[in-house]
Every structure is written in C-alpha cells, then in structure tokens.
Amino acid sequence: MRWTDLLWFFAAVSMFLPCVRVLASNVEVLAVELLRLNGDTDHVELAAFVVRGKNGELELVHWPPPARGVFRAAHWDGPLPSGVVGVIHTHPWTIPRPSRQDEWEARRLAMPVYVVSRTSLCVAASAGGVSCSRIKTWS
C-alpha cells in the first residue's frame, strides 16, 4: 500500500470518527471479556461475532470452542448472526497483529476483523489497512 492510499483511507474514515469511537470503546470491553474467557492460554484461539443487540449495545456471539488438542483453529459454520458488525478473535501476545487471512476475511465479509492479545487490540478494516492500540486487559 502506498502512503497516498493510506492518507486517502484515513481521510475517508475521518468522516465516520464519532461512530468509530463509540464502537471501539465497546469493542475494547468485549475484547477484554474474550481474553478473560481464554485465561492464561495463548495457544487456543477463541472467536466471536460482535453483534448489535436489540437494545443497541454490542454483544458477543461466541463461536464453538476448538476441539481439544487443536492448535489455534477457531472455525464458524453456518450463516452470520443477525446484527453482526464484526468478528473478534484472540491471538498470542507474540503475534498481536491481524494475519493476512484476517485482512482478507475483513474485505470478504465487508466488516472489521478485530484481533485481541494480552497487550493490544488491532483491527483489520474492511476497506483495507490495520490499526492497533494498547489495551488494559486485567483490572
């Protein structure tokens, strides 16, 4: 990606910043919840859909846990749930950024794919590009 493409992307996104900020603060809370469910384990990938519920709040619709002994293999079969606005899953702290597959899925699904590790929350945007921020995971 050229720097001019990145500049154009940020200019386009800036029109929606009030919505993005509200969504991001709620996604961070959901990200911490997903990490707590994962415990101290970095080798199991938990995943969920971020869904806007009937009351307007964001919620998680958890994917089935991976089979015992399967290394980092979250998988969803079936239609997308109603109200889905994104996908979120865990990564080990040593690989905090979205993978190429995560970026591809964000484009394919036309929705953000969030990746949460013990130290950061990253998002692969549906229009392309990745951004990350530090999060406080344990209170």
Say if CB 90 and CB 135 are below 8 A apart. Answer: no
List, for residues 48-93, the tens digit of each pLDDT value.
999 988 888 899 999 987 776 666 677 888 899 999 999 999 998 8
Q: Tell me, what DSSP letter sits at residue 68?
A: T
List, for residues 19-47, the tens digit of each pLDDT value.
333 344 488 888 888 888 877 666 778 89
- Residue 56's pLDDT is 83
Long-range contacts of 130-133 (CB under 8 A, 24+ apart): 130/97, 130/98, 130/103, 132/96, 132/97
Inform me whether the pLDDT recorded for 9 exceeds 70.
Answer: no
> Which is more confident, 11 or 128?
128
Sheet holding 113-116, edge to edge: 58-62, 47-52, 84-90, 113-116, 120-124, 130-134
Say if CB 126 and CB 103 are below 8 A apart. Answer: no
Report pTM: 0.76
> Which is more confident, 19 or 106?
106
* Sequence ranges of the domains in the chain: 3-134
Q: Tell me, what DSSP letter sits at residue 72?
A: S
- Residue 127's pLDDT is 94
Domain 3-134 has CATH 3.40.140.10: yes
Inform me whether the pLDDT recorded for 13 exceeds 70.
Answer: no
Say which residue the tokens 């990253």 belong to.
122
